[in-house]
Amino acid sequence: MKRFKNILVAIDTRVDEHPIVAEAAEIARTNGASLKIVDVVPEFSWTVRLVLSNQEHMRDLRQKEMEEKLRVVAASLEGSGVSVRTKVLKGKSSDEIIKEVQRGNHDLVLRVAKGSSSRRAGFFGNTGIGLLRKCPCAVWLVSPHSSPKFKHVLGCIDTSSDKPTDEQLNHSVYELASTVSRYHGGRFSIVHAWSIYGEQMIKGRMSPEDFAAVEQGNENQVEKLMDEFLKNHGNTVAAENVHVIKGETPDVVPNFVTENDVDLVVMGTVARSGVAGLIMGNSAEQILSSIQCSVLAVKPDGFISPIHVDD
């Protein structure tokens, strides 16, 4: 996995155990990458700011506590052969982590999927979702309950799209999913969900025989495109682990994850709705609201985050 060279791992120093740090250090060692460990001093809510006269002093104390705890975590990696730095950030967690990514030219962020104090419903917390939406580099959200080794890695691709962005993401997803599964000695699967746009309208205006022919032709074309894609990658995934499934992506992927004990999903996220990085796209959002496992998400080249260092 010689892809990442400058890794940032965001932790919560209020908890005692940080297995994600050991995982990040191993990735850094394997890649010959540097590692930075950060935590974020949050802003006080506006109601607290109204009544707390010494809020800056309180934040300074919290910062010093974090700095000491980060030094202890970094010291645990001494002798690992990895260059480790630490830093305390201040502000909204996801925004400040993204700004640090930009300042430090980081190419991978690792974080636990959901913090212990998160108020967001679901498997991924506000910070995790914010990173997936807006962070310009790859984001790896690790389940707090995952084992150190991934047993089943799933890559989600769409070879039927003719958009250059989707083609690039397909290659990135395949490369990462295959490399991680190989490194962990786990199973590697590829899923491509397909459907016929306007199926109900078309189906209601054709004979069953004619529609069946259209449906079969569509499936054949999708499978042909998948075969061509796999040939370009040397057919390194076993045929029984390639799944071309009819259905909507937000339904197919979560069902496959549950039924096949997937513990890491690798997927691409693309900005939609006119505001760069603000919304990942309906399919990605719906998938993330329905799965409970680690996720490694990649952005297309040229992705521009709406968060800027000078904001």
pLDDT of residue 201: 86
pLDDT digits (tens, 9 = 90+) for 60-96: 898 999 999 999 999 999 888 999 999 999 999 999 9
Has residue 170 got a pLDDT over 50? yes
Q: pLDDT category, 153, cuts 50, 70, 90?
A: very high
Q: pLDDT category, 275, cuts 50, 70, 90?
A: very low
Average pLDDT over residues 110-125: 81
pLDDT of residue 244: 94
With pLDDT > 70 as the criterion, what percentage of the chain qualifies? 90
Report whether 86 contacts 78 (CB < 8 A): no
Cα dist. 257→142, 152, 155 in Å? 15, 9, 11
With pLDDT > 90 as the criterion, what percentage of the chain qualifies? 54
| pLDDT, greater one: 6 or 237 | 6
| pLDDT, greater one: 3 or 280 | 3
pLDDT of residue 279: 41
- Mean residue pLDDT across the chain: 87
pLDDT digits (tens, 9 = 90+) for 39-66: 999 876 666 666 666 777 778 898 999 9
pLDDT digits (tens, 9 = 90+) for 190-211: 999 988 888 888 888 888 898 8
Q: pLDDT category, 310, cuts 50, 70, 90?
A: confident
pLDDT digits (tens, 9 = 90+) for 231-245: 988 877 788 899 999
Measured in degrees and rounded to the nearest 5, phi and psi for residue 280 equal -75, -20
**Sign of the dihedral defined by the CA atoms of residues 56, 61, 65, 68, in that order:** positive
The domain limits of the chain are 146-311
Q: pLDDT category, 230, cuts 50, 70, 90?
A: very high
Report the CATH fold assignment for 146-311. Answer: Rossmann fold (3.40.50)
* Predicted structure pTM score: 0.88
Rounded CA-CA distance 58/43 in Å is 11
Angle at the Cα of 15 from the Cα atoms of 11 and 16, rounded to 5 degrees: 105
Has residue 261 got a pLDDT over 60? yes
Q: pLDDT category, 259, cuts 50, 70, 90?
A: very high
Q: pLDDT category, 142, cuts 50, 70, 90?
A: very high
Has residue 107 got a pLDDT over 90? yes
pLDDT of residue 135: 94
pLDDT of residue 273: 37
- Complete DSSP assignment for the chain: -TT-SEEEEE--TTSS--HHHHHHHHHHHHHT-EEEEEEEEPPPPHHHHHH-TTHHHHHHHHHHHHHHHHHHHHHTTTTSS--EEEEEEES-HHHHHHHHHHHHT-SEEEEESS-TT---SSSS-HHHHHHHHH-SSEEEEEPTT--SS-SEEEEE--TT---HHHHHHHHHHHHHHHHHHHHHT-EEEEEEEE--TTHHHHHTTS-HHHHHHHHHHHHHHHHHHHHHHHHHTTT-S-GGGEEEEES-HHHHHHHHHHHTT--EEEEE---BTTSTTTB--HHHHHHHTT--SEEEEEPPTT---S--TT-
Has residue 152 got a pLDDT over 50? yes
